[in-house]
Amino acid sequence: MDTIKNLEEKLGYKFKKRKLLQGALRHSSIRRYAVPFERLEFLGDRVLGLVIAEYVYVNCRGTEGAMAKMQAAFVCAETCYDIAKSIDIDNAIQTAGEHLKENKTVLADAMEAVLGALFIDSNYETVKQAVLRLWRRHFLVYDESLQDPKTRLQELCQKMSGELPAYEVKNITGSDHAPVFTVSVSALGKTAEAIGHSRKDAEIVAARLLLQDLTVGSVDFG
């Protein structure tokens, strides 16, 4: 199947101007496409933030702090990467090297660029419905108690095995002033991996993902 057509089906939307979607799938690692891609990514990041902020406002009964934590969990690079993989962006994207098609930061950025293209070609409501559908699984497994994941994971490990979780920096990419860390955490026979703009951020996300694997919970949105 045509990769563009497949992506449109996963998004639930047929583009009127396919060039917009094609632009979102030409990564900035290919220099001549850098500006168009980065502009779409910029827009998509803001649109996604607004959709998620609205969702959090409607569904979170907590304080502003709790809302901010919930928002961060849904717009982080790890979540965007997961969604990008789920709709096969890795099969459609054009990059300067094949290895970049599996890079988490690249695919997370592409997910935002696709949302930017979708917004321009349609409207806010269309993007909103696409995001609510694609992010649904993450909404369902979100657990407010996981917002202190490293502490909870450590307590769980000490209770079950007496050992501490093991964190490891797997890779550091990006520029000196904007590094991207890939970190793994292993505990109780399982491993999770995450990315972040600091080692601490990546460790927090990795711990949260491992906790979800070990003890899946859900928040009451009633």
Selection from 44, 69, 67, 45 nearest residue 56 by Cα: 67
From the number of C-beta atoms within 10 Å of its C-beta (0-12, 13-18, 19+), residue 147 rates as: middle
Which one of 45, 78, 82, 193 is the catalytic residue?
45
Q: Is 213 helix (H, G, I), strand (E, B) or coil?
A: helix
The radius of gyration of the chain from alpha carbons, rounded to an integer in Å, stands at 18
CA distance 76 to 26: 22
Given a contact cutoff of 8 angstroms between Cβ atoms, the answer to whether 37 and 24 are in contact is yes
**203 included as an active-site residue:** no
Length of the chain: 222
Tokens of 171: 């890779």
Selection from 22, 16, 174 nearest residue 89 by Cα: 22
Which one of 82, 109, 112, 193 is the catalytic residue?
112
Which residues, including other chains, have CB under 8 Å from residue 58's CB and lie 6 or more apart?
none
DSSP 76: S
Selection from 173, 161, 167 nearest residue 192 by Cα: 167
**112 included as an active-site residue:** yes
Given a contact cutoff of 8 angstroms between Cβ atoms, the answer to whether 79 and 105 are in contact is no
Residue positions annotated with a catalytic role: 45, 112
